[in-house]
């Protein structure tokens, strides 16, 4: 489970809290599924924030309205 402020439906990008802690940690655990439980208001069709090359994308974004993003590696 990965926390954040906002999420993007197209590619699973996440707006974190600005420290890069989770991105650094998740790079060391590539096999782990990165799952988000968020409110629908936190999910955007496209990222309205800068996405950096070191940002780790999420595998699954779920809101009260269902699955908003699902990476192809999730079966």
Report which of 70, 51, 68 is spatially closest to residue 59, judged by C-alpha positions.
70
CA–CA separation, 50 and 53 (whole Å): 10
pLDDT tens for each residue of 8-47: 999 999 999 989 999 999 999 988 999 999 999 999 999 9
CA distances from 28 to 23, 58, 68, 74 (A): 9, 15, 26, 19
Predicted TM-score (pTM) of the model is 0.90
């Amino acid at each position: 489970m990965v926390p954040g402020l906002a999420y993007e439906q197209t590619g699973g990008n996440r707006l974190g809290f600005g420290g890069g802690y989770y991105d650094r940690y998740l790079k060391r655990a590539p096999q782990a599924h990165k799952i988000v439980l968020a409110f629908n208001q936190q999910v955007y069709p496209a990222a309205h924030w800068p996405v950096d090359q070191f940002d780790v994308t999420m595998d699954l974004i779920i809101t009260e309205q269902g699955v908003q993003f699902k990476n192809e590696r999730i079966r």
